[in-house]
Amino acid sequence: MNFFRFLSILVLAISLSFTATVSAHGDEHDEDAEHQHAEPAKGPHGGRLLTQDDFALEVTIYETEVEPELRLYLYQNGEPIKTPELKLQVTLQRLGEPAELIHFSPELDYWLGDKVIREPHSFEVEVSASYQGKNYQWHYDSFEGRTALSARSVQKAGIELEQTQAGKIQTQLHLFGVVAPVPEQQYQLGAAYAGVVQQLAVKVGDKVSKGQLVAIVQNPNSLKNYSVLAPAAGEVTAKYVSVGAKVSEQPIVEISDLSSVYIEMSAFPSDTEQLKLGQEFLVKDLHGHQAAVSQISYIAPQMTGGHIARARGLLANTDGHWRPGMHVKTDVTVATVDAPLVIKKSALQLWNGKTVIFIKVGDEFEIRMPQLGRADDTQVEVLSGVPLGVQYATTNSFILKADVMKSGASHDH
């Protein structure tokens, strides 16, 4: 044999041997991976197949154009069982909720459960059957949208928790307004007699008390001086004359009592229809530094030229924060209703096209799909789908959503 031909055959043999070895090890790894990710056995109808001896039971959730329902298919020695002499029972244990017992009755070629299986379809499942004097039992977990986080991880992620509870849904109008002085609390001080201003004891911005000296005026005929005194406590908001000026009927200074002010709100016709005397409203400055509560005390009977109606309320202003001319935002509560259960809007996430929240039981979080009702700016009523008194994530729940999606949790029956 030619030496080079012999060498070529030897190299080929070594190469084939190495490939076979690698392939064999690869098959072993594939088998291990398949074993680790082994899917539950499936029955002819695509449901989970539970077997014991020669008896088998297939669990399915049917939801095509009907509300989700449990259907069980039964087999013996691989053949469907069509007999009413059978007892079936399924218990579903949801996270943080009482166990749900489901009974069955025969229908067509399956046995139909007597309860709607609401989403999420996530629970521990106990199945028991009694047939021909034998009892069969199975237990398995079917979880969806569930993840576990330690208390440390929850704190680090900034996930805040609250408890589902009853509350009030408030419908509000958001109106712009301006701070205005109360006309009845503004005083323009003049001289009782015509004369010459001899002294001004105050200047604009000064605080005055009731009875305090404001000015001295001399009567030119009698050359007698008389005092002009403050009729009420307040602040000097205007000065109209100077020392030496002759005065008769014109004001000398203006004093305003700003310990309370008006909040004048502007409302469009559609808003005005919802406004009523006595309604409470929240006043906020534009910078969000301070807020206070008032009530509507007046609604103008006429619209302005710009088709705006004025509504106002009196607001305490002891610290002087609310200055006349300041623009403000107001939230007027036009309706309040009691709700048996409310949650914060910040808790809501979108999951497979549905609105969900994450409840927490122990270290485990799981999605719930609430049926929502009335809402206001910050919270929403829950009609069903979430238990009362359970903890739920109000902030950063998107982290939980991402964690669940990363783990590959699916909607599987």
Secondary-structure percent of the chain, ordered helix, strand, coil, rounded to 5: 15, 50, 35
Q: Residue 285 domain-assigned?
A: yes
Domain holding 119: CATH number? 2.60.40.3340
If you compute the radius of gyration of the chain from its CA atoms, what whole number of angstroms results?
40
State the pTM of this model: 0.67
Question: What range defines the domain where residue 228 resides?
Answer: 186-256
Domain membership of residue 412 (yes or no) is no
Per-residue confidence band for 408, with pLDDT thresholds at 50, 70 and 90: low
Is the distance from CB of 74 to CB of 84 less than 8 angstroms?
no
Instruction: Kindly state whether residues 386 and 361 are assigned to the same domain.
Output: yes
The domain that holds 302 is classified in CATH as 2.40.30.170
* CATH classification at residue 218: 2.40.50.100
Q: Do 53 and 199 have their domain in common?
A: no
List C-alpha distances in Å: 62 to 48, 126, 127: 13, 18, 17
100 and 153 fall within a common domain:
no
* 300, 177: one domain: yes
The answer to whether residues 177 and 266 belong to one domain is yes
Query: Is 223 a domain residue?
Result: yes
155 shares a domain with 68: no
Same domain for 82 and 162, yes or no, is no
pLDDT of residue 409: 52
Residue of 296 and 20 predicted with greater confidence? 296
- Of 310, 336, 362, which one is at a domain's C-terminal end? 336
Determine the 3-state secondary structure of 334 from DSSP: strand
Question: Do 177 and 278 belong together in one domain?
Answer: yes
pLDDT tops 50 at residue 14:
no
Instruction: Specify if 386 maps to a domain.
Output: yes
Domain CATH number, residue 381: 2.40.420.20
Is there a single domain that holds both residue 264 and residue 129?
no
Q: Both 77 and 194 in a single domain?
A: no
- Whether residues 278 and 342 share a domain: the answer is no
Cα–Cα distance for residue pair 212/232, rounded to 1 Å: 9
Read off φ and ψ for residue 145, nearest 5 degrees.
65, 35
Q: What is the pLDDT of residues 324-371, one digit of tens each?
A: 999 999 999 998 899 999 999 999 999 888 999 999 999 999 999 999
In the chain, the number of structural domains is 4
Q: Does residue 177 sit in the same domain as residue 281?
A: yes
**What's the pLDDT at 269?**
85
Domain boundary among 256, 286, 308: 256
pLDDT at 222 over 80: yes
Q: Give the model confidence (pLDDT) of 285-337 as tens digits.
A: 998 889 999 999 999 888 877 778 899 999 999 999 999 999 999 999 998 89
Residue that is last in its domain, among 336, 357, 378: 336
Spatial separation of the C-alpha atoms in residues 144 and 404, rounded to whole Å: 9
